[in-house]
């Protein structure tokens, strides 16, 4: 019996050794030179790139990331790029433009260590730096790795020219939770957008703990430092350097230096650029603009723009959070019809507050007041049904000079019996809501407010608007609503798949952590039938034709 037991143990040991060898082989050797399968073509064209600094302890010079300058030949094997690991196991690759051209026949790919590859899909150009953004999925084999090298960006046809050690000299993959990701220069200062410093809403570190740094990749030790004047959430403002001229031939990197308690420099993909602002036609400020962050909202955008233009919004600024639908086509169509609407490419995940702060600074020269609302939120007053007033929302704004913020209550609407998206629009398809108010949304005077969850200058106050409410079509038909599980845009709100803060007002009551439709979903969140806005919109935008009745936003 003892011999039999020993034999069984030996068999288990042999099996364990074999499995271990197979795991190691798969991880380190297999597919080292495998061909590329399923390389998706890029969706857009024309682009550019970025440099990076690594975190360091004060006293050491900041170390610039590797910069590979391509030859003039378009057939160069590897392209200059810097990569960041972001949520959903995606890799953002920021790349220089010249002399590159996006081609469907020969798309870009990310070459990771050990020969793993992933399609690199071009998604847009960053307005702040002119760098292009390509997105790669992180290969599954790396999901449990703690240290991953940045991929090499190359064309599919160039893979055969790269040796097995092509990624050996690549720096570590940057992490999204510790990064200076964008910047905006004004006439007076420089605004940095930074992950990983103020991590809790309402808890902000003292500005004296930081300095802004400006330097070139060619000579990072010759950095110019300036004072940080404010640090709120992910937004840091600092003085402009007097000895540097933005827009020089040599790109200037801007980063945040932490002075205490542990001195360090936050890695950065942001650049110092000349002052930029949203243009105001004729130099005249609009009275009222609207800004929102959007992701795949093309389906509802026309309804939202037509309605809010009718009540007084003169300009629409959409922060495009890497949309994958027909957003640009719809925006182009609306602009062609005379609406003042534009998009600003803002791909950064979970940065809604920063995006709104950016718009407060960026649009200050062209907008007096800014509404902040999502595309499923509509401002409404019962009084508008009784009076045909042009731009009724503007007419209800305060005249008191000390009012810098208006606060509006929200009512949340449910699926209202719908199982699919109503083709006539959300204002027509959803008419049953919860009874109580939930949360408030804001309109702000941009000269007095510079941050979402806004902090006003001394001497200003907030006024609550009781006559105007927001209809929030939050709980829509299940195929539309379940998309909310994919990601939440706020920096301080957990994705719904995370088992954290189950009682948050952001979550749907009674819904768990998975996108599984409750059996009674179409009837949920229905306590009061409310047809006020529905009737008003039909009166304003209804069109009777030989083909029947339709709304102006319907095709």
Kindly state whether residue 3 falls inside one of the protein's structural domains. Answer: no
Write down which residue in 236, 265, 294 finishes a domain.
Answer: 265
Query: Does residue 539 surpass a pLDDT of 70?
Result: yes
230 and 317, same domain (yes or no):
no
Q: Is residue 493 part of a domain?
A: yes
Looking at every residue in the chain, the average pLDDT score rounds to: 81
- Does residue 100 have a pLDDT over 80? no
Checking if the pLDDT of 62 tops 80, the result is no
Per-residue confidence band for 248, with pLDDT thresholds at 50, 70 and 90: low
The angle subtended at Cα 82 by Cα 197 and Cα 265, nearest 5°, is 30
Q: Is residue 396 part of a domain?
A: yes
Q: How confident is the model at residue 96 (pLDDT cuts 50, 70, 90)?
A: confident
104 shares a domain with 66: yes
Q: Is the preceding omega at residue 549 within 30 degrees of 0, hence cis?
A: no
What pLDDT, on the 0 to 100 scale, is given for residue 200?
Answer: 81
161-179: average pLDDT: 89
> Over the stretch 189-225, which tens digit does the pLDDT of each residue have?
999 999 999 988 778 999 999 999 999 888 888 899 9
- In three-state secondary structure terms, 220 is coil
pLDDT score, position 202: 75
State whether 137 and 52 are in the same domain: yes
Whether a cis peptide bond, with omega within 30° of 0, leads into 398 is: no
Q: Are 341 and 313 a contacting pair, CB within 8 Å?
A: no
Residue 498 sits in the same domain as residue 532: yes
Residues 167 and 200 in one domain: no
Q: Indicate the pLDDT class of residue 518, thresholds 50, 70 and 90.
A: confident
pLDDT given at position 27 = 35
Residue 371: pLDDT above 60?
Answer: yes
Q: In the predicted model, what is the mean pLDDT of residues 334-346? A: 97
Averaged pLDDT, 219-242: 92
Rg (CA), the chain: 26
Tally of domains within the chain:
3
- The span from the CA of 321 to the CA of 121, in Å, is 15
Return all residues near 44 (Cβ < 8 A) that are at least 6 apart.
102, 122, 123, 124
Question: Are both 441 and 527 inside the same structural domain?
Answer: yes
pLDDT per position as a tens digit, 427-475: 999 999 999 998 788 899 998 865 544 466 777 888 888 789 999 999 9
Instruction: Note the pLDDT of residue 1.
Output: 46
**Nearest in space to 344 (alpha carbons), one of 363, 366, 319:** 319
Mean pLDDT of the region 528-544? 97
**What is the β-pairing status of strands 121-125 and 179-185?**
unpaired
Model pLDDT, residue 245: 65
Q: Determine which helix (DSSP H) or strand (DSSP E) holds 352, and give its type and residue range.
A: helix 352-362
Q: Quote the domain boundaries for residue 254.
A: 179-265
Q: Do 207 and 191 fall within a single domain? A: yes
Q: For position 283, what pLDDT does the model report?
A: 76
Cα separation, 367 vs 370, in Å, equals: 7
User: For residue range 273-321, what is the model confidence (pLDDT) as tens digits?
Assistant: 999 998 877 778 999 999 999 999 999 999 999 999 999 999 999 999 9
At 77 the pLDDT is 63
If one compares 31 and 399, the residue with the highest pLDDT of the two is 399
Q: How much is the average pLDDT of 512-539? A: 91
Residues 471 and 495 in one domain: yes
Q: Which helix (H) or strand (E) holds 408?
A: strand 403-412
pLDDT, mean of residues 102-123:
91
Instruction: Look at residues 322, 321, 213 and name the one whose alpha carbon lies nearest to residue 267.
Output: 213
Confidence of residue 510 (pLDDT cuts 50, 70, 90): low
- pLDDT classification of 241: cutoffs 50, 70, 90: very high
Question: Nearest to residue 319, comparing CAs of 340, 345, 298?
Answer: 345
Q: Is residue 398 located within the same domain as residue 347? A: yes
Tens-place pLDDT, residues 521-531: 999 999 999 99
The 10s digit of each residue's pLDDT in 378-387 is 999 999 998 7
Residues 166 and 183 in one domain: no
Among the three residues 216, 241, 265, which one is the final residue of a domain in this structure? 265
Using a 10 angstrom Cβ sphere, with 0-12 exposed, 13-18 middle and 19 or more buried, the burial of residue 403 is middle
State whether 404 and 487 are in the same domain: yes
For the entire predicted model, the pTM comes to 0.82
Instruction: Say whether pLDDT at 138 is over 90.
Output: yes
Answer whether residue 9 is part of any domain. Answer: no
Which neighbouring-strand residues pair with 258? 210, 264
Task: Using pLDDT thresholds of 50, 70 and 90, give the confidence band for residue 506.
Answer: low
**How many Cα atoms sit within 13 Å of 3 on the Cβ side?**
0
Q: Do 151 and 286 reside in the same domain of the chain?
A: no
Give me the CATH number covering residue 529: 3.90.550
Give a yes or no: residue 320 inside a domain: yes
**pLDDT of 411 over the 60 cut:** yes
What's the mean pLDDT in 131-158? 93
- Which among 175, 200, 232 is the end of a domain? 175
């Amino acid at each position: 019996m003892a011999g039999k037991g020993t034999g069984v143990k030996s068999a288990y040991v042999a099996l364990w050794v074999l499995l271990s060898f197979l795991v190691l082989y798969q991880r380190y050797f297999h597919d080292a030179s495998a061909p590329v399968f399923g390389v998706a073509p890029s969706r857009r064209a024309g682009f550019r790139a970025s440099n990076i600094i690594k975190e360091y302890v004060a006293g050491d010079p900041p170390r610039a990331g590797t910069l590979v300058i391509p030859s003039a030949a378009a057939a160069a094997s590897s392209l200059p790029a810097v990569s960041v690991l972001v949520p959903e196991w995606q890799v953002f690759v920021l790349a220089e433009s010249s002399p590159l051209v996006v081609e469907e026949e020969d798309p870009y790919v990310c070459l990771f260590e050990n020969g793993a590859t992933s399609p690199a899909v071009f998604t847009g150009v960053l307005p702040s730096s002119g760098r292009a953004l390509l997105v790669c999925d992180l290969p599954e084999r790396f999901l449990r790795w703690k240290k991953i090298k940045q991929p090499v960006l190359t064309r599919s046809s160039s893979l055969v020219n790269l040796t097995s050690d092509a990624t050996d000299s690549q720096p570590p993959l940057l992490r999204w939770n510790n990064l200076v990701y964008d910047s905006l220069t004004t006439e007076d200062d420089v605004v940095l957008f930074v992950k990983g410093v103020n991590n809790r809403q309402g808890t902000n570190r003292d500005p004296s703990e930081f300095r802004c740094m400006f330097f070139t990749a060619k000579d990072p030790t010759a950095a110019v430092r300036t004072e940080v004047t404010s640090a709120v959430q992910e937004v840091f403002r600092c003085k402009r350097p007097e000895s540097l001229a933005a827009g020089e031939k040599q790109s200037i990197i801007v980063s945040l230096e932490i002075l205490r308690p542990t001195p360090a420099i936050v890695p950065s993909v942001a650049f110092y650029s000349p002052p930029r602002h949203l243009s105001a036609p004729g130099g005249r400020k609009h009275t009222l603009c609207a800004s929102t962050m959007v992701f795949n909202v093309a389906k509802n955008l026309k309804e939202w723009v037509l309605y809010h233009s009718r009540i007084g919004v003169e300009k629409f600024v959409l922060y495009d959070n890497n949309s994958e639908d027909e957003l640009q086509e719809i925006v182009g169509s609306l602009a062609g019809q005379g609406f003042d609407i534009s998009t600003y490419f803002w791909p950064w995940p979970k940065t809604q507050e920063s995006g709104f702060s950016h718009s407060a600074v960026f649009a200050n020269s062209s907008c007096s007041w800014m509404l902040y609302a999502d595309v499923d939120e509509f401002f409404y007053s019962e009084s508008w049904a009784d009076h045909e007033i042009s731009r009724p929302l503007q007419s209800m704004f305060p005249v008191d000079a000390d009012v810098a913020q208006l606060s509006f209550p929200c009512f949340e609407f449910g699926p209202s019996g719908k199982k699919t998206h109503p083709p006539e629009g959300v204002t027509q398809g959803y008419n049953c809501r919860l009874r109580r108010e939930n949360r408030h949304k804001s309109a702000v005077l941009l000269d007095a407010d510079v941050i979402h969850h806004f902090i006003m200058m001394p001497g200003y106050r907030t006024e609550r608007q009781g006559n105007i409410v927001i209809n929030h079509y939050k709980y829509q038909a299940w195929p539309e609503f379940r998309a909310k599980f994919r990601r939440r845009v706020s920096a301080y709100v957990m994705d719904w798949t995370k088992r954290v803060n189950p009682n948050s007002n952001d979550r749907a009551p009674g819904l768990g952590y998975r996108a599984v439709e409750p059996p009674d979903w179409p009837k949920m969140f229905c306590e009061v039938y409310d047809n006020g806005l529905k009737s008003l919109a039909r009166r304003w935008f209804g069109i009777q034709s030989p083909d029947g009745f339709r709304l102006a936003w319907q095709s």
